[in-house]
Structure 1
């Protein structure tokens, strides 16, 4: 067992099984004599629900997730070369993220952990960040996230807006300025926000501050839950060890009691043999005395 495989196994289990699985992996590493590996595994943190959902995508929707990350590679390349073709890439990213959000919602529900709105937003933020930051993309692809990821804005620092963005261009035709029709976009579901609408909401400072505060409170709650669960798991481990020790002591007590009973029986037999020998000696002495009296001249 190495650290990478242990981490991938650990972050592939359901949230409720995380602590028990980590305890087992730590014990296996210790049994194998690898204390350093045991310490590294023991330091892995329980994932939030949103991070677990992204890890679930890495395992159960790897193809769709890989396509999104490929779009991210293309976006970063386009940004680095001046932004050509960003419009089509942005649309592909939006479609891929929407599809993965639906997949995450469905997979989590099937696993018995339906995602609340906050968790869904964190999943979306993580997927968006993975298309901007190559390091986040690597974490997402590996499927070993413990916390959701986010990125300020949707482009790298120093690249404020996508070239060609904004309203559709206008051009002069027969002395009139006419609005150029945008390319046909995929039909939106009823009530679904456009990517720019979601971006505008995120860019509202007051809304962003409230969302950040809510995310922080949710993260605090998750951390407190994880801490309590770890304390409970530690207490259960201590109780198991105490029960095992009680069992061992009981077996030891039974063995000592059996040894005592055997010793008592042996002592009783020895005493009985001694009494018989004493009686034999007395009889012999009496016979010797009688023989002396009966002897001539006695």
Structure 2
């Protein structure tokens, strides 16, 4: 057992089983004589619900997640190359993130941990950050997140401000020389086609700031739309579950009514059988009494016959004596 495999196993279990699994892995590492590995595993923290949901995606939706991370690679490459094709990549990213959010919501609900709005936002933030930051992308791909991730700002860290329309905004050298000979602070000489970076003060130029605001507004609108869609899906799911519960209740009530009817019929049958049993018992008692009376009559007839025979015998003896 090594640390990577132990971490992947640990972050793949249900959050309720995390502590128990971690204890087992620490015990196994100690048993193998690797105290350092046991200490590293013991230091792993239980994931938040949102981080666990992203880890679920890394296992159950690895293909879709990999395609999103590939889009992130293309986005970072496009930023580095001057911004060409960003619109199409942004659209692919938005669609991929939306699909993965639905998948995460379904997987988490199926595992008994439905995602609330805050957790869904954290899942989305983590997926967006993974398309901007290669280190976050590696964590997401490994499926061993303990906490959600986020990236502040629209432009990836370390990348220049995207030029308008994907074309460089630096003026040709000849034009700069005609207007002053030396390039100003905002137009430092450089390789042709190299995108202008943020001003040394750390603030973007007015046009760049406006593009950033536009991009952030678009991202906010997309997020609002996705939040609304997610709420609508949850509401629809709740309505469906309520309808299913009502159908199940109606079925149980029908089964209960049928059971009551069957019980009533069984009770009536028991009553009928008891009545017949009582009648049979009465008939048996009457037959016993009749048999007893017949026996008594037979006994009386036998007694009468014996008396008659004795009387006849006595009469015959008297006649012989005379």
Q: TM-score, normalised by structure 1?
A: 0.56
Q: TM-score, normalised by structure 2?
A: 0.52
Residue 204 of structure 1: aligned partner? none
Which structure carries more relative contact order (alpha carbon 8 Å, separation 6+)? 1
Residue 134 of structure 2: aligned partner? 134
What's the CA shift for 1:197? Answer: 1.0
What's the CA shift for 1:152? Answer: 0.6
1:78-117 Cα offsets, whole Å, 9 max, x none, are: 0000000000000000000000000000000000000000
Larger radius of gyration: 2
CA distance in 1 between partners of 2:135 and 2:71 (Å): 15
- Of residues 92-101 and 155-164 in structure 1, the stretch that sits farther from structure 2 once superposed is 155-164
CA distance in 1 between partners of 2:24 and 2:163 (Å): 49
What root-mean-square deviation, in Å, do the aligned CA atoms of Structure 1 and Structure 2 show? 2.0
Distance 1:162 1:59, change over 3 A: farther
Within-5 A mapping of 1:116-265: 116-157=116-157, 159-160=160-161, 163-164=164-165, 195-198=219-222
Residue 65 of structure 2: aligned partner? 65
CA contact (8 A) 2:82 2:162 kept: no
Q: Which runs of 5+ in 1 are unaligned?
A: 166-192, 202-298
CA distance in 2 between partners of 1:79 and 1:200 (Å): 25
CA distance in 2 between partners of 1:19 and 1:162 (Å): 49
Residue 50 of structure 2: aligned partner? 50
CA contact (8 A) 1:122 1:149 kept: yes
User: Which stretches of structure 1, 4 residues or longer, exceed 3 Å deviation after superposition?
Assistant: 157-165, 193-196, 198-201
Residue 10 of structure 2: aligned partner? 10
Name the count of aligned residue pairs.
174
What's the CA shift for 1:125? Answer: 0.2
